[in-house]
Chains A and B, each alone.
Chain A
C-alpha cells in the first residue's frame, strides 16, 4: 500500500518514516517546495506539495492508497488555524476525489471528545475543528484519529522537549524555581508511530485511538530525566505549600525592595503536559513502551546530536 505522509519532516513524521521504511507499506513523503529533505531516511520517495494548495495536493494524493496526515502548526503562528483547519479540509477533499481508502489523522489529547478542550489554546481548538471535518460528515474512506498526550522520542529537530533536559543537565542540584509543579502524561513516539501503522493495517480500524500513558508528577519525571543523563543532578523537592506561603512572600518582599529582579509569579506556576482522566490513561492498540524509555531515548538523541 502506498501511503502519503504529510508533515513528513516533522517530529512524528520522521519517526514514522524511519519505521515505515522497514515495514510493509511504501511511504511517500509530502514535502513543501524548497523544503530540505536530508533528514528523511535514505531512499524515501518524496512528492512536492502543500496542504494549502488544493490543486497540487490532488496530484500527490492521487498516487496513494492511504494518507497519514501529520502536517500541522503546533507552536504559535498566525497561520495556525489556516494550516490546521483549512489544510485538513483540503486534504480530505483531495482524498475524497481521488478515491483514497483510508485516512489516519493525528490530533491531540485535548481534542478527544472525552476531554474538555482548552478554549484559550488555538492549537487545541484548531484540532477540535478538524475533528468536525472528520466526523461531522460521511466520507468515502475509512477514517482513524489518534489522540496522543505528551510525545517524547528521537528526531526532535525543533528541540521542543529540550527545555526539560537542559536545566537538569545544567545543574547539579535542581530546586524550585528551576522547575515548576508540572504534571505529565508522557508517551513514546514509537507508540504513536505503532498506532498509526496499526490504524493503516487494521481490517476494520477504530475511529478513535487515544495514545496515553500514566499521569506522573514533576518529581518522578525530573528524576527520570536526571537518571537519563550522564551528569549527576539531584532534584530536591520543596513542598508546594512551603513555596506558596513562605517562599513566594519572601521573594515578593525582596522584589519590592529591589533585591530580587523578579517577583514570585513564575515560581508558583503549575503546568500540565497532557494529563488525562483515569479512564483514558494507559491506552494504545500496541504494546506500550514505558514513559521512562521515552525519556531515555529522547536524552540519547540529544546526546547523539551534540546538545547534551
Chain B
C-alpha cells in the first residue's frame, strides 16, 4: 500500500529510465499505470514494470484513481495532458519544456491554480549538488554586486525526430536546452527580459541548433546575463560563470570553483576534497543523481501539500515567456 499512486504519460526513455524507476524506489509512491499511444512501447513498459497500459492519458485518468501524473511526452502534448490531470485533481510533474509557447503555459498555470495541485517542471540542472552550492553562494551575496553571468550549454543532438518538428517541440535548441539555465536564472534574479537573441541552423536540421541570448533582470540593474546553447557536442557540457565585485565562481555538474576576496575554493559534486595537500586534491567518489532527486523532491512537496516546489508551473510560464521573446527576436518560431 503506497501513499501516492502514480500514472506516467509517455513510455520513452525519460519515462522508463528515469521517472518509473524513481517512483518505484521511493517509499511512498507506486507506479500503477502508463499511457502511451504506441502499442508496442506501451505493452513493453506495462510488462516490464508490471503496470496497466492505456492508449492515452484520458483513458488512464478515467480508469485509475491516481494521485500523481508524470508527463514524459513531447512538448506539444503537455498542455492537454496537464489540463486533464489537473481536472482529475492529480499533482503533476511535467518534463521540460513545459509547453510549446507561453500561452499554453499560462493555461496550465490557471488550471493548476484552480485545482490547487502541486506542480513541478522537470528542470534538471538545479539539482546538481554544485548548482545548489553555487546558487546558495550567489543568493547569500558572497560575490558582492554581480558584474556578469554567463552559461554555456552544448549537448548532443537529440535522437527523437520530434525535436526537429517545431509544431511538436515548440522550436529548436533554444526551447530544448535553455530552460535548464533559465530556471536557475529566474529563480535567482526574477523575471527575465530578452535584450538580444540569435539562432543558427549549423547542420541543416530545419530548426536552430545553435543560439545565444542576452538577458536583463530588473533586480540586477543592467548586469549582463547571457547564455549560449547548441546541439553540437556528443559528450555535452554545461558551465555557468558568475562574476561579482567580491569574487567569482564557475560550475558545471562535476566541478565548482571560485574565489572570494582572494580565498579560493573548489568542490566536486558539491563536496570539498577528502585530501588536499596543496599540490593535488583527492575527491570522494560521490556522484549526483539529479534526475532522481528532482522527482523525489517533488514527491516530498506533494506529501507536505506544499505547492511551492523548486520549479512550479509559474516558473515554466516565466521560462516560456523568455523563450517566446527570444524567438520574436530571431524571427523563428513554432
Residues of A contacting B196 in the complex (Cβ-Cβ under 8 angstroms): none
Choose the segment among B34-42, B135-143, B297-305 that binds chain A (4+ C-beta atoms closer than 8 Å): B135-143
Q: Is B144 a contact partner of A162 (Cβ separation < 8 A)?
A: no
Verify if B277 is at the interface (C-beta below 8 Å from A): yes
A157-207 interface with B by 8 A CB criterion: 157-160, 162-163, 166-167, 169-173, 178
Interface residue from A157, A163, A231, A261 paired with B279 (Cβ < 8 Å)? A261
Q: Is B137 a contact partner of A159 (Cβ separation < 8 A)?
A: no
A266-306 Cβ-contact flags toward B at 8 Å (1 or 0): 00000000000000000000000000000000000000111
- Nearest Cβ in chain A — how far from B279, in angstroms? 7
Verify if B274 is at the interface (C-beta below 8 Å from A): yes
Verify if B276 is at the interface (C-beta below 8 Å from A): yes
Q: Is B276 a contact partner of A167 (Cβ separation < 8 A)?
A: yes
Least CB separation from A161: chain B residue: B263
Least CB separation from B283: chain A residue: A170
Interface residue from A39, A178, A306 paired with B277 (Cβ < 8 Å)? A178
Residues of A contacting B144 in the complex (Cβ-Cβ under 8 angstroms): 36
Given A157-B141, A306-B136, also A166-B265 (CB < 8 A): yes
Q: Is B140 a contact partner of A305 (Cβ separation < 8 A)?
A: yes
Interface residue from B137, B141, B274, B281 paired with A307 (Cβ < 8 Å)? B137
Verify if A52 is at the interface (C-beta below 8 Å from B): no
Verify if A80 is at the interface (C-beta below 8 Å from B): no
Cα distance A280–B260 in the bound complex, in angstroms: 34
Given A305-B140, A305-B142, also A157-B273 (CB < 8 A): no
| 10 A–B contacts, CB within 8 A, in A order | A157-B261, A158-B261, A162-B265, A163-B263, A170-B272, A171-B273, A173-B275, A178-B276, A306-B134, A306-B135
Binding site for B on A (CB under 8 A): 36, 38-39, 157-160, 162-163, 166-167, 169-173, 178, 231, 261, 304-308
Binding site for A on B (CB under 8 A): 132-137, 140-142, 144-145, 245-246, 260-261, 263, 265, 272-279, 281
Given contacts A162-B263, A170-B272, A305-B142, 15 further A-B contacts (CB under 8 A): A38-B141, A159-B260, A159-B261, A159-B263, A166-B272, A170-B273, A170-B274, A171-B273, A171-B274, A171-B276, A172-B274, A305-B140, A306-B134, A306-B140, A307-B142
